[in-house]
Structure 1
Amino acid sequence: MAMSLHHVQVSCPAGSENALRAFYVGVLGMTEVAKPPALLARGGVWFRGGDMAGAAEIHCGVEEPFAPARKAHPGVAVDDVDALAAAVSSAGGDVRWDDQIVGLRRFHTEDPVGNRLEFQQAS
């Protein structure tokens, strides 16, 4: 059976959607995905990066009480990790490089509500 990952979900507090849009769209360059009408009342916001064949979706879902994911995280493969790190840094984000895996350039950062994110590129 063929499988591929469609999306990962991270939690967010109610009312954080605009801050998340500013980060995921404005800094990371992802696009917002329209939520199905039946799910709009739950709050939160969804994003997609890349083309449909290689798209990565991150869904930010409202959870109360909210606690950001500090260890669990989505790992997103990108085609220019240095440019993305520069964009995150320019926006005031913390970029923590990790060279623990041979053949992989990667860094960790947090979204505006504190969820850990990893971005990586094969070197």
Structure 2
Amino acid sequence: MRIHHVQVACPRGGEDAARRFYGTGLGMTEVPKPPALAARGGCWFRAYDEDGEGGGVAAAEIHVGVEEPFTPARKAHPALVLGSVAALDEAGARLAELGFDVDWTERQTFAGYQRCHAFDGAGNRVELLAEESAQSE
């Protein structure tokens, strides 16, 4: 068994903020939604393994769906593993530069990992973590 994707919600019109967070901030690739689902709004993002989009395997997928009424998920969250502590630091800094809230207060509270929690454009909590043994890229 494996997870195919995780869905988070956004309010109607929240797609551009999702693109800034998941695309620009985290470097995920936006992928087209199937035509039967595209009319619902939202957007989908995928991260690939180290071989990249051309020959790589999907390593993580986030579906951002429109939900009305909308309430951000402040506790429930996806957790994305980055390849190194340096990549974690870079992603957190990039998200903060883009104006997203990034919380480092629990950086050392999960044995074997360093982590932060960020809040996407709709206010949903997203955990970013890296194995402490993965010090360089």
Q: Which residue of 2 aligns with 1:17?
A: 15
TM-score by length of 1: 0.92
Unaligned runs of 5+ in 2: 50-55, 133-137
- Report the Cα distance in structure 2 between the residues aligned to 1:81 and 1:50, rounded to whole angstroms: 16
Q: Which residue of 1 aligns with 2:38?
A: 40
Shift of 1:16: 1.1
Counterpart selection for 1:112 from 115, 118, 121: 121
Shifted more, 113-122 versus 21-30: the winner is 21-30
Q: Does 1:75 align with 2:79?
A: yes
**What is the aligned length?**
121
SS in 2 for 1:56: strand
Q: Which residue of 2 aligns with 1:26?
A: 24
- Report the Cα distance in structure 1 between the residues aligned to 2:19 and 2:78, rounded to whole angstroms: 17
Counterpart selection for 1:63 from 61, 64, 67: 67
Shifted more, 25-34 versus 86-95: the winner is 86-95
Runs of 4+ in 1 over 6 A off after TM superposition: none
- Report the Cα distance in structure 2 between the residues aligned to 1:69 and 1:34, rounded to whole angstroms: 24
- Report the Cα distance in structure 2 between the residues aligned to 1:90 and 1:18, rounded to whole angstroms: 17
Shift of 1:22: 1.8
Counterpart selection for 1:8 from 6, 9, 22: 6
- Report the Cα distance in structure 1 between the residues aligned to 2:37 and 2:17, rounded to whole angstroms: 20
Shifted more, 31-40 versus 46-55: the winner is 46-55
- Report the Cα distance in structure 1 between the residues aligned to 2:68 and 2:110, rounded to whole angstroms: 35
Give the fraction of aligned pairs with identical amino acids, expressed as a percent: 54
Shift of 1:37: 0.4
SS in 2 for 1:55: strand
